[in-house]
Structures are given as structure tokens and as C-alpha cells.
Amino acid sequence: MERIEILEMKDITKSFIGVKANQDVNLVIEKGDILGLLGENGAGKTTLMNVLYGLYHPDKGHIIVNGKPLYLRSPKDSMKAGIGMIHQHFMLVQKHTVLENIALGFDEAPFFFPQRYMRKQIEEYSQKFGLNVDPNKKIWELSAGEQQRVEILKTLIRNADLLIMDEPTSVLTPQEAEELFDILRKMINNGHSVILISHKLEEITSICNRVMVMRKGKVTGTALIKDVSKVDLARMMIGRELSGSLEKKEVKPGKPMLEVSNLSVNSDQGLPIVQNLGFNVLWGEIFGIAGVSGNGQREMVEAITGLRKSVTGSVSLEGKDITNLTARDIHNRGISHVPEERIKFGTVANLPFFENSVLKKHHKTPFSNRMLMNYPNIRDHAKNLVAKYNVDAASISVPVKNLSGGNIQKLILGREISSEPNLLIAAHPTYGLDVGAAEFIRKELINCRDRGGSVLLVSEDLEELFQVCDRIAVMFEGRIMGIVDPNNCNIDGIGLMMAGLEQQNQGENI
């Protein structure tokens, strides 16, 4: 089979009802390139890549490989041509083993002893690219990073020359992301090429050699990485400069809003994952939880918000015990929650946008009078959210599943923040958002605090925590290693705590 030396997408246009997702887009990628594809939420990145993968047929335009046109009717054709794609949400069968998943739909294995053949292939490719996985493990037993390696192996074994990855690091720990980059570098050295979709400027500048930026369906620029700065890229992405650090009102923190003491919580596997955790969030403060994902943050938030039972300890809100109440009870007492897996838990995919905009309060005034839903009010509310949060939706009647990932996020954040909760618990609220949208959300968190409410912010993004928080706790293996004042501490100390060292003399202990 001929290898891909140069691939061109020419004048690609693709519309959905009411939206031009791609307009006359041109893209070129050569063997050995890692091309970064950067752009705001809804810019059309995933759509363009779905065209290249044969999932969508463009309305106009064509694809050329090594000077010859390539016609794609389905992903089967693109795989045959050497194009592989790994979606943001993995498409593996959870109950099957790694081996079974890789073999699934692979029709080039010999008739006799196909298992032995697949095993050898996995071994060979694992070694060549440093893709460590145990072929006998079931998918549900694997971490996000390992599942991703299975997906990569799967495409490489199918002879992918060009690998498309849609926001691959959004599910990875920083450590796993580094491992992924090593794998990508090995691929490049072996004559493959990669298209990497990402929102993270840092990532694009450190791993890619070229970048293409999109905005509202069009290409706003392409460049060699060595010729552009992060500020240039941000400008191409959002059409304006990034503003500096964020302004906050002087608010004197009041009494405790949320008190967590001695809290222990088990993981899905029934193992202790949060252990004897204790902290307070005061009125009028943003309390941050830093730390690498997977150290019990998710389970802690679930226990506080009533989605998971705690084993020991207590949680109280404004002095009243709320330990292990139902999620609805806790919500009614004034806690709003932006969950980590927001698409799964935060919306109903098939319902239209406007109905999703009032979830959890659809049964209350002004959206209902106990008997009947007040649709004019609901629609008005939805329209306000669209305008205020700059949601890119064709109309408020589209089902939420048709929105891009980032726009779904804006919907949920807007819905939770606009209810003016006493306490807002937000887990990774700007994950997957572009620079402009992330900044807007951070300002909203600060507004929530400035009007006297409290915020518990769980994030992996230290820069974000430093921009908005009044105090930051570092969590490691289910415990708090220390609490610091962001205006008076050093980053190295926080790094050490994130790696499991208890707080020593890193700034003031508060």
C-alpha cells in the first residue's frame, strides 16, 4: 500500500441546519508533521476531521493524497487509505479485553490462530511505539491513558499513516500527557503524521511543528510553530488579546459556609479513596482544590453533593448537617454543582436546549406553576443564557446532543451560575473551553463570590486557581497536603505537595 506523503483538503465546506461548520477550508499535512488544530468551541475542528475520516460528506471540496483524489464513503475507506481517528470519547467495548477490542472488525487476521496473530501484532507495535498495555485486561479496568493507548494501537495495527486525535489530553493526567507525547514523537520518527486538536496553547507549542487556527468555520491562520508566539495564537483564535490577571473585590470572608470534617469516601471499587478529609469554605471566598485528577477529588465532590454516600465524617452547610442527604435535598438547600462528567450527568442529550436550560428547577416558579410548565418563561430564560454566555447554537430548540462539547459546557455553567447559589461547587469548569470562554467563566466564579456567595473550585489548572482563588488546598491520595494563600506562596512548594509531600514552610499555612 502506498504511504501518505502529502495530504490536502481543498475548499471543504460543510453545513448543518442553520450552521456553516466549515467554509472553504484548506489544510495540508505532510509525512512527519504534527499539525496542531486550534480554535474556539464550535469553530468546526471536529467537523473538519470527521470529513477527513469519512464520517461526514462535505457539501463541497475534496481530498487529495499524493496528488491523487481520494473519495471517502465511510471510515472504512479512510482507514484503507491510512487515516485513523481517535475521538474525544473513546469507542471501546468496556466488557471486552484489550485483545478483543483490537481484533474487533479487523479482517486481515489469518483464518487459523487469529488470536495468536493479534497477540503478536500487539506485542510488536507496543514495543515499537512504547505503548504499554496488557492485552488480557478488560477495558473497564484501565485508566483513561491506558484506554487511549489501546485506541492508538488499534489504529496503528490497521496501518494508519495519519493519526487524528481530538483533544486527546483532556482526559489525561499531566504525566500521562507526557507519555502520549513521547508516543507521538516515536510515530513521527517512523514516518507517520499526526493532527492534534487541542485548546491548550502550551500543548500545541510544545509538541507540534505546524499549526492551523480556525474560527467560526474558517481558517484564520496557519504557521510554523517556530514563527509564532502564544499571544499570536491566542489572537488568531479569539480575535483579541488575552487580558491579564483577574480583578476581585475586597471581600472580608465570613463564617464557614461549608464545613467538611473527617470525611472518608470509597471508590467505585469499594476502596478508600478519600480519607479523613477536613476543610472549611467561608462565606465570600473561592476555595480551590488543586491536585492531579484521580486523587479523590471527584469522589469527594460526589459525597458533598449527595451523589455518593460517605463512609465516615460529616458535611454541614451554614451549620446544618447535610451528610448523606439526597442530591435533590442538597441542591434545594442552595448548593449548585457543575459536575466533572458534565455531558453524561449535566444534560439530557435528546432534549432541546431550552428544556435543558431549566433542569433541576423546571418544577419551580417561574418555570412551572405546579401543574403546568410555563414555556414562554423557559424560552426567555434559555435565550438569556445563549446571549449572556455566548452559546453557539442554531436555535434554542436544537437537541443538546447537536451542540459542540464546549457549548454544552457553557449551557451547564450558565444554568448553575444563573441560579445564584449560596455555594457553587465546580469541577474543572473550564476544561475543554477555549481561552475566551474560560476567562468569561472565571469572571463568573468571581462574581459569584463578590456578591457574597462561596465557591469550591476543583481544578488541575494551577494558573486558573491562582487567578481566582482566595485559598488553595492541595489534595493527594485522598488527603489534603496543605492549604496556601495564592498571594503568598511558591509554586514549587505546591508541586511538591501535589507529588505527595506534606506542607512544610511553603509560605503561610492558613
Ligand X SMILES: Nc1ncnc2c1ncn2[C@@H]1O[C@H](COP(=O)(O)OP(=O)(O)OP(=O)(O)O)[C@@H](O)[C@H]1O
* Residue ranges that bind ligand X, judged by CB under 6 A: 16, 19, 21, 39, 41-47, 392, 402-406
Between 41 and 155, whose beta carbon lies closer to ligand X? 41
Q: Which helix (H) or strand (E) holds 483?
A: strand 479-484
Name the minimum Å distance from CB 14 to ligand X: 8
Cβ distance to ligand X smaller for residue 220 or 419: 220
- Which residue number, 97 or 220, has a Cβ lying nearer to ligand X? 220
Task: Enumerate long-range contacts of 147-150, CB under 8 Å, 24 or more apart.
Answer: 147/90, 147/92, 148/86, 148/90, 148/172, 148/176, 148/180, 149/183, 150/92, 150/98, 150/101, 150/102
Q: Nearest approach, Cβ of 383 to Mg ion (angstroms)?
A: 24
Nearest approach, Cβ of residue 318 and ligand X (Å): 37
In angstroms, give the least distance from the CB of 235 to ligand X: 18
Partner whose footprint covers residue 503, from ligand X, Mg ion, none (CB < 5 to 8 Å by kind): none
Q: Of ligand X, Mg ion, none, which one sits near residue 403, judging by CB under 5 to 8 A according to partner kind? A: ligand X
Q: Which residue is nearest to Mg ion (CB)?
A: 46
When CB distances are held under 5 to 8 angstroms depending on the partner's kind, the choice from ligand X, Mg ion, none that residue 21 binds is ligand X
Give the residue, chosen from 46, 101, 347, 454, that forms a contact with Mg ion under the rule CB under 5 A.
46
Give every CB contact of residue 472 below 8 A, 6+ residues apart in sequence.
287, 288, 289, 290, 465, 466, 483, 484, 485, 486, 494
Strands (E), 19-176: 19-30, 34-39, 60-65, 68-70, 83-86, 162-166
Q: Nearest-CA neighbor of 451 among 484, 420, 409? A: 420
State which residue, 42 or 313, has the beta carbon closest to ligand X. 42
Nearer of residues 284 and 405 to ligand X, judged by Cβ: 405
Residue number, 308 or 410, with CB nearest to ligand X = 410
Strand segments (E) across 299-422: 312-317, 320-321, 335-338
Dig out the grid coordinates for 427 from the structure: 469541577
CB of 61 to ligand X, least distance (A): 15
Instruction: Retrieve residue 428's grid coordinates.
Output: 474543572
Nearest approach in angstroms of CB 178 to ligand X is: 23
Backbone angles phi, psi at 342, to 5 degrees: -70, -30
C-alpha 470: how far from chain center: 25
Positions that interact with Mg ion (CB under 5 A): 46
